[in-house]
Structure 1
Amino acid sequence: MNDDASPAVRLPRARALLLPGLLLLAAAGALLALRRPLMMSAPACLAGRWDHCLGTFNGVVLMTLLTVPLSLLVAWVLARRRRAAGAPDAWRLSLAEVGMVHGTAPWVWMTMMPGPGAGVVPGRVTLVPLRDLVTMGPLGLGGNLLVFAALGFFAPVRWAALASPARLLVLGAGCSVLVETAQYALRLDRVSSVDDVLVNATGALLAGLASRRWWRAPAPAPAPDRTA
């Protein structure tokens, strides 16, 4: 047995496991820090009082965690159907599709929650960059980074056309503009800010760069026909 080659083989494997391990540690730490607020929403969610469950941030986060097994089941069904049809990368594509939806829909739902003056207070817009950034605080900044993080992480894994940092930035910014426009048009008593767009797009970009090793490669160009 070649002992000199063994560390070289183990090193790439260790690097491949580093990011998932860090993500698991971060998720465990977040759950530990949020366990009390989440448990406060548990009675309403488990009793089916959806107005008190899905109408609060804690309730939405709790339901997102509780529905993880359901999303994994959906991904398994999609992967089986793809494998039965002979499609390549069945699991990767299925997990990417379900991950985008499961990781993005709850955050968009929370951003669209109406404030106390919804329908009464006129829409407010802030177009000066970096004005609202200093007032977000760590919690607001982290939340805005996560709104489209799952989309940025999984979109280039699913579609090769989005496997580019510039396109991920445009994707995050475009989706954020749609959300901010809806907040203003529906008069949800929220501020439509350009800083939200900037932070949302940055979160999508950073998450996409974290998944770069799994990005779907573009299809090779067809070989030129030399028969003529």
Structure 2
Amino acid sequence: MKRSIVLAIVLAAGSLMMTLVAVLPASAHPDGTFYSIGRKWPPNANETWYIDNNVPAGAFRDRIVNGVSAWDNGAGGAGPNFVYGGVTTSSVTDILDFCERGYSAVFVRENLGSALGGGPNSALGFTPSCYNASVGGTFAVSFTMNLERTAEFGTGTGWYTGTGNPPENRWDLWSIVAHETGHATGFIGHFANATLCPGTPQPATTETMCGGNPALVDTIMLRTLEAHDLHTYANAY
């Protein structure tokens, strides 16, 4: 039997809905704050994940693969290894019933924020994980990444699915998927320290696991993990 735990909603309007936010000094890396003790993947886990066939084909799917790959070997090989398994069709009609499949996958949904109780245009992504109740809920056994189909949030009016710099007011899909994949590794909540997550995003310092900031629209700052992302992840595993 499996049970679920909600890990995050990224970039929710107003306050961050259903997230655990902690303020840390820039030098601290307490993995227990963001990776609950016993709520992680088994060491060196290989987890095959899929893209649902309702996800737009072409560049949209390619950028999802890029974003998930951002965490490859981030914990020195000790963390989960997410292996792309291709496209699949889910037999579960409600994508939010994330523990009913038994496998990891990425989905899209129109008006995701409303489905999560936050109103229209209030979320870009939501990534919960399921845990194995037979071992006390210790090990993650799957994740479900849900992405807003049209990506309207803040001043953003849609996804950018290229590999360069997004045009004005477009959300970079690669960046948001990289953030969501952090939650798939077991990361709960978001960084909130002003040094790590300045209100005016800085390319050299803004961490991928910062909380929702509408100012990140039309940037690529979340594509690459920064020092605190990596240290927190590595210390957890």
TM-score by length of 2: 0.26
Q: Which has the higher strand share?
A: 2
TM-score by length of 1: 0.27
